[in-house]
Amino acid sequence: MFLEADLHTHTVASGHAYSTVKELAEAAEKRGLKLIAITDHGLKMPGGPHEYHFGNLVALPRKIGQVEILRGVEANILDTDGTLDLPERLLDQLDIVLAGFHTGTGFDGCSQEEYTRAALAALANPRVHIIVHPGNPEFPIHIEKLVLAAAAQHKALEINNNSFHVSRQGSLPRCQFLAKLARKHGVWVALNSDAHIFSSVGNFARAWQVARSAGITEDQILNLTAARVKEYLGWHRRHPHLDQEGKTWSGSTSQSRAVGV
Ligand SMILES: [Zn+2]
Ligand SMILES: [Zn+2]
């Protein structure tokens, strides 16, 4: 299996990552990727970017070499209301918004119930496209509730390759459980590198192992093709009030086939 898109990468702007946009794009092209999202951390991340970073992402070219560039953020979820650490006017300017929990951003040491409420609220935010590393045991959300909500809202959950290498120890069993439930309920899964250095871009190997072991097939992987990613983002832009309107997915990808199989 080959994935064309990596939807979660960091540049030097994150403060603890080591490559430039150009280096990430060049590494992506070498790997044969067609699209990457630049998703530096939100404002509350210690050492992270100033909000001008996000306002000025319009400066990025749409394509570097053969690789399309999406302008994004990995926003921090700050409380049980799902508040994110980037103003709405800036979120609205971005192509893709990832949201997740991180230590050091003021929302540590809470209960499963609180993290679950927070994650569900962030997921329901029409500006949010993917919940990242939901298997992190440090922020023990109720995985089944998240999967069911993602299914209802046609949103994607991430299996983060970095969670099995350098970060978030203990994620594997929770990610395996999430993958099984995602398979069962036909939820979109994004397999991302979470690269903090150019050489990690497009590295999905462990995440794909976890997904495949759970029976997830290409049908359900959001970033299989660049076209599928753009269709997904476009669909969510056209249906910002999914909750209220109860719209159903009508794209040409086969999420519906995965449901209940
Ligand atoms: Zn993260
Ligand atoms: Zn990240």
Ligand lying nearest the CA atom of residue 103 = 1
For ligand 2, the distance from its centroid to the CA atom of residue 73, given in whole angstroms, is: 9
Nearest alpha carbon to residue 168 among 232, 103, 214, 115: 103
Ligand lying nearest the CA atom of residue 7 = 2
For ligand 2, the distance from its centroid to the CA atom of residue 61, given in whole angstroms, is: 22
Contact 10, 162 (CB under 8 A): no
DSSP calls for 34-92? SEEEEEEE-TTSTT---HHHHHGGGGS-SEETTEEEEEEEEEEB-STT--BSS-HHHHT
Alpha-carbon gap, residue 14 to 49, rounded angstroms: 6
The pLDDT profile of the chain, 261 residues, written as one tens digit per residue, is: 899 999 999 999 999 999 999 999 999 999 999 999 999 999 999 999 999 999 999 999 999 999 999 999 999 999 999 999 999 999 999 999 999 999 999 999 999 999 999 999 999 999 999 999 999 999 999 999 999 999 999 999 999 999 988 788 889 999 999 999 999 999 999 999 999 999 999 999 999 999 999 999 999 999 999 999 999 999 998 887 654 444 454 444 344 333 322
For ligand 2, the distance from its centroid to the CA atom of residue 163, given in whole angstroms, is: 10
Which run of H or E residues covers position 99? Answer: strand 96-100
Ligand lying nearest the CA atom of residue 195 = 2
Domains and CATH numbers, the chain: 5-258 (3.20.20.140)
For ligand 1, the distance from its centroid to the CA atom of residue 220, given in whole angstroms, is: 22
For ligand 2, the distance from its centroid to the CA atom of residue 243, given in whole angstroms, is: 27
Contact 207, 160 (CB under 8 A): yes
The tokens describing 22, both together, are 């150009």
For ligand 1, the distance from its centroid to the CA atom of residue 200, given in whole angstroms, is: 15
For ligand 1, the distance from its centroid to the CA atom of residue 66, given in whole angstroms, is: 27
For ligand 1, the distance from its centroid to the CA atom of residue 211, given in whole angstroms, is: 19
